[in-house]
Structure 1
Amino acid sequence: MPTLTIIDTFGFLFRNFYALPPLKSKKGIPTGMITGFMNFIASLGKEFPTDYVVFTLDSKEKDTFRKEIFKDYKANRPEAPEDLKVQLPIAIGLIKEMGFKMIEMPGFESDDIIASLAKKAANDGIKVKIVSHDKDMYQLIDDDKIVIFDPIKKIEINEEKCKEKFGVHPKYFKDFQALVGDSSDNIPGVKGIGVKTAAKLINEYKNLENIYENIDKIKGALQKKLIEGKENAFLSRELVTLKTDLFENINLEEFKYPEINPILKVADKLIDLDITSVIDRVKKNGLFVKTKEPTKQIEFEAIILENEKELFEIIDKIEDNIVSFDTETTSLENPKIVGFSFAFEENKAYYVPINHFYLGVSKQIDEKIALKAIEKILEKKVIGHNLKFDFKMLKNYKIKTPTPFADTMILGWIIDPDSPVGLDSLAKRYLNHQNIKYKEIVGKNQNFSEIDIKTAAKYASEDAIITLKLYEVLKEKTWEEVKWDIENIEMPLINILIDMEKEGIKVDIEYLEKLQKELTQKLESLTKEIYNLAGSEFNIKSPKQLSNILFEVLKLPVKKKTKTGYSTDEKVLNSLKNTHPIIEKLLEYRKFDKLLTTYIIPLKEYAKKDKNQKVYTNFLQTGTATGRLSSKNPNLQNIPTSTEINIRNAFITDKLFVSLDYSQIELRLLAHFSKDPHLIEAFLNDKDIHLETAAKIFGKDNAKEYRSIAKSINFGLIYGMGPKKLSETINVSTKEAKKFIEKYFENFSTVKDFIEKTKVEARKKGYVETLFKRRRFFDFNSANARTLAAYEREAVNTIFQGSAADIIKKAMIDIKNKFPSSKMILQIHDELIFEIDNKNQAYEYKEIMENAIKLEVPLKVGISFAKRWGELK
């Protein structure tokens, strides 16, 4: 079952501060709390696995709704120690840089956000672990759905542990707290009533209302205390009761645990703080440069150009030199230009202010003149860092952007595709230079246009000069074989991706609304059917309640036990398919619920924001280690292919869509690299490769019957599938699966030789290479047996996936070079989708794709046409 971990940020950090020794960095910065926190983060992905993570923060507004109820709420909180104050913003910054989602809501405390998230997620069938030391959280505990997690003791606090500690069940905890009070939050409670007395009262009467309705039955001093404290009791309950209705919906994708180890994203900052032990726990070869030397800040002169004549004179001086270029904008979303910087000399960088806007702003360059200056700079050998952002913004001003001479973000990724490639990170790693942070000069409610020009110039000029110096270092670190790929593939691809992103794809909002209505009705109908089959009503999304129905009431065979009971995850349900009709209905319910909440509703909301009803994805060139493009905001590469609930049909065109899809490209690459005669012969003669494989393993007479198994084996071997995984995929025993794999290798011995040779060479060299010589590195030397096996699988897979990525990128460029006006809309791994006016264009694109590169076997591209994406075959 998926797990969401919710972390009470300030509460957790405060606890760390007081629990750990007062460590300090060599520069005298206190680091004890940060060290403890980062050790927890390092454990989060391994010792405490979780699918989703979110950090919650208290509102910065001091006057929350509880203050309105009781002005003395939290009035006795002491001032935080200075060392704690220093570390808090550093820790918050690290959380953001690691890529975790943080939520803060004006007027509400972290506890209310936690409660609302927990209830919503639990109702959606997600197990929730709350990392907090606040007693208020105990009221949320609901076995198998919501637990409190103690990372020090490494235990989950459930209903039983709550009763052990406080003597009451979590559902009565608010009333228990109302009696006991809480001195740390200045919650009065009932004077003179302690934990034991409160527990006894709650166990007998359950809540405050029942206590006071039966006050005559309570005798002596206790009755007097209760009567005198009645007002405080009800006030206290109101204060401790957490809000659970702050979210109508939550997008779990925003909380997804980062794919790149989050520690690695902040490795340079941790080194600067002398917190290196946590890095050693997750170290990988080449991911960062350890140094004990103090940071050597690069000195340079930041020159403001506010005179038109001087600006063009300086640009003329660039001549044939490489020039680093960067823009400053109002925002990341719908950006407007504020200024630009450039550098081409050893220790000088220039800033051109254009649209700064604040009281007393000095002279600036007129926007039209500035844009002409930019056009002139772009005629030079232009480099930058993430130029896709700058160029995309400049296209809004009708500026034609060239193919960049180089992009340091892409160079950094080519050299080390598993590491962070932000400018700050690369500067620290390769230049030992600490860049000025954006947040240090731009306030929370400001944008760059409001920043003093002198301050802006220093910040912007630094980006330009550091990019220039970084380029000099990185170009020396790239190996000769990959330079063709950088110049002819990765750099030209930048403008192609910009065009694709700006084009977008139209969405049929009415169609999505119809799907939403249809799925909502289906879920309602399925709910009734499930209730009828279960014999009672229950919360379908509650693993505990579902477990009770399946294994206690219906007595279905138990497949998997967890610490908290019986598992009801998808794998378990699939294994129970033939045991009871309720299982099919539950799987159907989960499928429809996911389609509705993950795709239909979010896509509809994206499209509604655009006047053309389009959605615009962002393609990431450096988003994967294999080289494949990735997509985000929204991710259009993982839209389900199901035809039953056809979400892809929501994407429409006024012209015609054409899909051009490389057929079995990774198997063709397997034939190319392994030079296996059987595979080559099959592809040269355009035979059904899976049927041919089935014939080799199971005999010609059985080939058709076993084709699907042969297909699973063919693709499985590329992805490093072993007997266990294959047995689960094709529903046979592990022993049988092992025999199938052995039989395959008997018939395709050169394939086995190639795979084994790849593993040996990868361990020897520490890397593998794709078709276009891009490398991916693996730290085999420090790997344990399990990690070693994973590295070997990834090494083999990288050759195929990475080479397929190389080929389709080249095809994209070849098409754009021959047909500059072609409208490429989407790239989904091995498939390209275009908007076209006539079918003849598409067949020319197909020919280009099939001739993108010559392999030992021919490349083949499937083609289909439709007005809706979902109708493409």
Structure 2
Amino acid sequence: MKHNFYKYWLPKKGLIDMNEDFVSCDELKRLSFLPESWIMTKQRKLDWTTYLNSMGMGMALEVQLRVSPLIRSLKFKSIDLDFAAWLQNGLKPWIDTRQKVLAELQEYLGIGVYSVENNVQIRNYARLKGIDIASLSMSWLVEHRHDDPVIRLLLKKRNQDSLLERYRDRLASLQDHNGIVKLSGTWNPYSSYSGRFTAHEMAMTALPKAMKNYFVAPSRRSSPNVYVSLDANQIELRLLAGASNCKLLIEQFEDGVDLHRYFASKLFETNQSNVSPAMRKLAKTLIYAMLYGAGSNRLDKITVKSGLQIRANPISVLQSLYPEVTALLQRFRQGKVLYYGLKPTKFQPRIGVSWLSSATKQNLPVQSATALLMKQILVELVNKVNVVNVIHDEFICLCNERLIDETQQCVLKAFGVAANKLDLALPLANILSTQQLGGNYYDNY
């Protein structure tokens, strides 16, 4: 249904041009912070352009116009997976884990190898032992996993079953004559109000990390290709460092400091050399939780769940180390207008008639700046680098193995050009981590 709230600006005449050169209704809704349920009237492209420019979203619209067809075209690209090798070696840890779980269930319930394969029979045998499993749904099992070992084991079995069904059984039917599965997805150019673009179906973000070891780039024998991951290190922190002109944080990026290890040393009041992987992981989780607006209660829960005991208050540590960043985040949090791409707009901080929470007001500027930057980089890389997938702040490219360094330099340059065009101060030192993924195979041509 329509709301009178928007009547004062929505133009009443003309048709919106919905060809490939423009953005979809869903994209326009999110660019204009209209609710998903909003029924859009047909308007001219010029009307929307004028309106969004007047509200401070002109740059976001301009980028979206250029990048939408590029993002949609990613559905025609794919990453080749050596399914035979993945089946034989990559899946082994999951299969072994599942067999161990089944053995434990058999012993605990006293049932046979066939019964333990069936979830309903597991529930029935559990009831005979006085263990009530009211539902076999994942949500119920997660909620009650601590009630009894059988419930915990059944949840673990269901998780392994789901992984194997998705990444073994479904993929098996997609093999070609060479035993190759082409991983691809259908892309949404503006999947959330932050502007992030994502893939559905075989979204790379959902693929297990171990699978990357089994990617095989299609190659000619005289010119082998490789898949290369170019991952932007700590892009959100870099954008905040630049936007707030945080001297210490910028210097740390330039010096290649491991920020999470450094932060952990402050949390645990110890030398960086004493920071364990678990301590670093907790520090990283807490940093990003704070960036995205988590309060003290949420931070306490994260810490308790880790099983570690910190000696300093995370919020106090962040404020003392990076006061410029915390001041900027506070400005977002208390702003009377909505910030997008780290810049103020003329929108009130709400979607439709629903006011945004303080946490969303704080994290939306950072997330939207990251999405905007990645889109503009994609535009800059057209006809220069063969991007086959994008995962948040990581580009996966297909290139000749002799051109890895050249590809890296091209992507690095695109980061700088894109940031400049978007008026984003971005510390570029040590920003890219480059990794070759899997191997290659030679097609018969």
Q: 1:724 to 1:864 in 2, by over 3 A?
A: same
1:570 equivalent to 2:203? Answer no
Contact 1:506 1:615 in 2 (8 A): yes
Q: How far 1:408 moved relative to its partner?
A: 5.5
**1:669 equivalent in structure 2:** 239
Q: Tell me the distance in 1 between the aligned counterparts of 2:347 and 2:144.
A: 36
Q: How far 1:848 moved relative to its partner?
A: 1.8
Q: How far 1:720 moved relative to its partner?
A: 2.1
Which of residues 669, 675, 683 in structure 1 aligns to 2:253? Answer: 683
- How do 1:366-445 residues align onto structure 2 when only pairs under 5 Å count? 384-385=17-18, 387=20, 404=21, 406-407=22-23, 409=25, 410-416=27-33, 418-419=35-36, 425-427=39-41, 431=42
- How do 1:47-62 residues align onto structure 2 when only pairs under 5 Å count? none
Contact 2:188 2:198 in 1 (8 A): yes
**1:222 equivalent in structure 2:** none
Note the alpha carbon deviations across 1:757-791, whole angstroms, 9 max, x for none: 21211xx22x22214777886438966xxxx6x72
Give the counterpart letter for 1:668 in structure 2. R
Q: Tell me the distance in 2 between the aligned counterparts of 1:622 and 1:775.
A: 21
Which of residues 863, 866, 871 in structure 1 aligns to 2:434? Answer: 863
Q: 1:770 to 1:793 in 2, by over 3 A?
A: same
Identical counterparts, % of pairs: 17
Q: Tell me the distance in 2 between the aligned counterparts of 1:497 and 1:596.
A: 29
**How many pairs align?**
411
Q: 1:775 to 1:824 in 2, by over 3 A?
A: farther
1:812 equivalent to 2:378? Answer yes
Q: How far 1:584 moved relative to its partner?
A: 7.5
The RMSD of aligned alpha carbons is 4.4
Q: How far 1:824 moved relative to its partner?
A: 1.0
Q: Tell me the distance in 1 between the aligned counterparts of 2:358 and 2:161.
A: 37
1:635 equivalent to 2:203? Answer yes
**2:164 equivalent in structure 1:** 596
Contact 2:214 2:439 in 1 (8 A): yes
Contact 2:232 2:393 in 1 (8 A): yes
TM-score w.r.t. structure 1 length? Answer: 0.41
Q: How far 1:623 moved relative to its partner?
A: 1.7
Q: How far 1:829 moved relative to its partner?
A: 0.6
Contact 2:85 2:214 in 1 (8 A): yes
Q: Tell me the distance in 2 between the aligned counterparts of 1:739 and 1:733.
A: 15
TM-score w.r.t. structure 2 length? Answer: 0.75
Q: 1:794 to 1:614 in 2, by over 3 A?
A: same
Q: 1:607 to 1:773 in 2, by over 3 A?
A: farther
Contact 1:659 1:863 in 2 (8 A): yes
Note the alpha carbon deviations across 1:138-187, whole angstroms, 9 max, x for none: xxxxxxxxxxxxxxxxxxxxxxxxxxxxxxxxxxxxxxxxxxxxxxxxxx
**2:101 equivalent in structure 1:** 526
**2:216 equivalent in structure 1:** 652
Q: 1:501 to 1:808 in 2, by over 3 A?
A: same
Which of residues 843, 847, 856 in structure 1 aligns to 2:412? Answer: 847
**1:724 equivalent in structure 2:** 297
Q: 1:729 to 1:591 in 2, by over 3 A?
A: farther
Q: How far 1:663 moved relative to its partner?
A: 0.2
**2:280 equivalent in structure 1:** 707
Contact 2:266 2:317 in 1 (8 A): yes
Contact 1:408 1:471 in 2 (8 A): no
> SS of the counterpart of 1:832?
strand
**1:803 equivalent in structure 2:** 369
Q: How far 1:524 moved relative to its partner?
A: 5.0
Contact 2:98 2:157 in 1 (8 A): yes
**1:506 equivalent in structure 2:** 80
Q: How far 1:868 moved relative to its partner?
A: 5.0
Q: How far 1:531 moved relative to its partner?
A: 1.3
Q: Tell me the distance in 2 between the aligned counterparts of 1:496 and 1:619.
A: 10
**2:61 equivalent in structure 1:** 486
Q: 1:543 to 1:700 in 2, by over 3 A?
A: farther
Q: 1:604 to 1:760 in 2, by over 3 A?
A: same
Q: How far 1:625 moved relative to its partner?
A: 1.2
Contact 1:384 1:408 in 2 (8 A): no
Q: Gaps spanning 5+ residues in structure 1: where?
A: 1-266, 269-282, 291-295, 299-345, 348-382, 388-403, 432-468
> SS of the counterpart of 1:486?
helix
Q: 1:760 to 1:563 in 2, by over 3 A?
A: farther
Give the counterpart letter for 1:616 in structure 2. S
Q: Tell me the distance in 1 between the aligned counterparts of 2:281 and 2:306.
A: 16
> SS of the counterpart of 2:57?
helix
Q: Tell me the distance in 1 between the aligned counterparts of 2:188 and 2:313.
A: 39
Q: Tell me the distance in 2 between the aligned counterparts of 1:619 and 1:505.
A: 15
Q: 1:613 to 1:563 in 2, by over 3 A?
A: closer
> SS of the counterpart of 1:715?
helix
Q: 1:596 to 1:414 in 2, by over 3 A?
A: same
Q: How far 1:650 moved relative to its partner?
A: 5.0
> SS of the counterpart of 1:569?
helix
Q: Tell me the distance in 2 between the aligned counterparts of 1:799 and 1:738.
A: 31
Q: Tell me the distance in 2 between the aligned counterparts of 1:505 and 1:849.
A: 23
Note the alpha carbon deviations across 1:605-641, whole angstroms, 9 max, x for none: 4556999853432221122211111111332332122
Q: How far 1:664 moved relative to its partner?
A: 0.6
Which of residues 326, 347, 368 in structure 2 aligns to 1:752? Answer: 326
Q: How far 1:474 moved relative to its partner?
A: 1.5
Q: How far 1:792 moved relative to its partner?
A: 1.7
Contact 1:719 1:793 in 2 (8 A): yes
Q: How far 1:673 moved relative to its partner?
A: 3.2
In our comparison, the structure showing a higher alpha carbon Rg is: 1
Give the counterpart letter for 1:695 in structure 2. S
Give the counterpart letter for 2:328 in structure 1. F
Note the alpha carbon deviations across 1:363-412, whole angstroms, 9 max, x for none: xxxxxxxxxxxxxxxxxxxx84251xxxxxxxxxxxxxxxx3x4454444
Q: Tell me the distance in 2 between the aligned counterparts of 1:738 and 1:757.
A: 28
Q: 1:384 to 1:562 in 2, by over 3 A?
A: same
1:794 equivalent to 2:369? Answer no
Give the counterpart letter for 1:740 in structure 2. N
Give the counterpart letter for 1:570 in structure 2. V
Give the counterpart letter for 1:415 in structure 2. S
Note the alpha carbon deviations across 1:189-236, whole angstroms, 9 max, x for none: xxxxxxxxxxxxxxxxxxxxxxxxxxxxxxxxxxxxxxxxxxxxxxxx
> SS of the counterpart of 1:796?
helix
> SS of the counterpart of 2:108?
helix
1:698 equivalent to 2:278? Answer no
Which of residues 60, 70, 78 in structure 2 aligns to 1:496? Answer: 70
Note the alpha carbon deviations across 1:258-314, whole angstroms, 9 max, x for none: xxxxxxxxx36xxxxxxxxxxxxxx8x96x769xxxxx9x8xxxxxxxxxxxxxxxx
Q: How far 1:678 moved relative to its partner?
A: 3.3
Q: How far 1:800 moved relative to its partner?
A: 1.4
> SS of the counterpart of 2:196?
coil
Give the counterpart letter for 1:529 in structure 2. E
Q: Tell me the distance in 2 between the aligned counterparts of 1:607 and 1:416.
A: 42
Q: Tell me the distance in 2 between the aligned counterparts of 1:630 and 1:842.
A: 23
Give the counterpart letter for 2:375 in structure 1. K
> SS of the counterpart of 1:827?
strand
Give the counterpart letter for 2:269 in structure 1. G
